[in-house]
Structure 1
Amino acid sequence: MSSVNGCNIPAELYYVVEKHVWAKPDGDVVLVGLTDVAQNMAKTVISVSLKGEGKPIKRGKSVATVESGKWVGPVPSPVEGEIAEVNNELAKNPGLVNEDPYGSGWIAKVRPVDWDADRSLLVTGDEGVEKYREFLDAEGISCASE
């Protein structure tokens, strides 16, 4: 896992850097979640309102709404498709987003209409890590404890 300004940015994931969301292909679905950067900026997540399974979703539209003591906002989908599954564990334990944003804190699984087209709009690998570094440096964002 790569560390950028104290934030964990796994090179194997796909990112919409400005929206702080990640995507990971998993069979015929794409897992979607918030990045370590997002959960650090939000601080303690107190609730996650998930969209319904089976709903069509446009790229950039919300698959969930996350609320913390500092922020309420959407989790935009990095892909177009249908919400195949949501992480119902988040209703009972929204803190999973803070504790494990790339694992048990995933938000939704989306069955993409065209993963190849969506993937071409995302950044990944060394390029993704570097784009995130540039963004965090430009915005003065750090995940390091102050």
Structure 2
Amino acid sequence: MSEYRGCELPEDLFYDLDYIWVRPEDDGLFTIGVTDPAQTMSGRLQKARIKKVGTHLEAGRHVATLESGKWAGGVPVPFAGEVVARNELLLDDPHLINIDPYGDAWITRLRADNLGEALANLHTGDEALTALRAWIERYDVQCMRCSE
């Protein structure tokens, strides 16, 4: 895993180069969450609303809304698909995103409408890491994880 200014940046994920990560799963589904720099900028998350299983979303629509004491924003999906799972733990304790954004604090799992095009607008590897470092610099982020 790469790290930059305290921000963890897993090389094996796909990124929208803003604040969303996507992990293709072996079963053809895609797990989506928010990056370490994004959770740092948001502050301690206090509320999460996630679309229900069975909801169909077009690319760019919000699958979740997260709120902290200083920020509220939506979590867009990078491709059209159906919500097949949501992380129920986050509904009770959204602060988990501040603790483990790439692990237990995933937000949703989607079944893409078009499997072959799902990752077309996402980036991975060196290209993604370079762009994410630039994002961190632009917003002057120094990542830190909240404690439980």
TM tier, shorter chain? over 0.9
3-state SS, counterpart of residue 118 of structure 2 = helix
Cross-structure match for 1:38: 38
State the alpha-carbon separation in 1 of the partners of residues 116 and 55 from structure 2. Answer: 21
State the alpha-carbon separation in 2 of the partners of residues 143 and 89 from structure 1. Answer: 23
3-state SS, counterpart of residue 24 of structure 1 = strand
Q: Aligned-pair distance for 1:125?
A: 1.3
State the alpha-carbon separation in 1 of the partners of residues 144 and 43 from structure 2. Answer: 13
Cross-structure match for 2:24: 25
When structure 1 is superposed on structure 2, of 99-108 and 109-118 the one drifting more is 109-118
Change (3 A) 1:140 1:83: same
State the alpha-carbon separation in 2 of the partners of residues 121 and 4 from structure 1. Answer: 23
Q: Deviation digits for residues 9-40 of structure 1, max 9, x if unmatched?
A: 1010000112x000001122100001101110
CA contact (8 A) 1:5 1:141 kept: yes
Matched residue type, 2:21 = W
Matched residue type, 1:92 = D
CA contact (8 A) 1:22 1:78 kept: no
Q: Deviation digits for residues 57-91 of structure 1, max 9, x if unmatched?
A: 11111010001111100011122110111101111
Q: Normalising by structure 1, report the TM-score.
A: 0.92
Q: How does 1:100-115 map to 2 (within 5 A)?
A: 100-115=100-115
Q: Aligned-pair distance for 1:144?
A: 5.5
- Structure 1 unaligned residues grouped into runs of 5+: none
State the alpha-carbon separation in 2 of the partners of residues 21 and 65 from structure 1. Answer: 13
3-state SS, counterpart of residue 38 of structure 1 = helix
Instruction: Report percent identity of matched pairs.
Output: 35
Q: Aligned-pair distance for 1:116?
A: 2.7
Matched residue type, 1:24 = R
State the alpha-carbon separation in 2 of the partners of residues 120 and 78 from structure 1. Answer: 9
3-state SS, counterpart of residue 127 of structure 1 = helix
CA contact (8 A) 1:13 1:24 kept: yes
1:129 is the counterpart of 2:129: yes
Q: Normalising by structure 2, report the TM-score.
A: 0.91
- TM-align CA RMSD: 1.4
Matched residue type, 1:106 = W
| Number of residue pairs matched by the alignment | 144
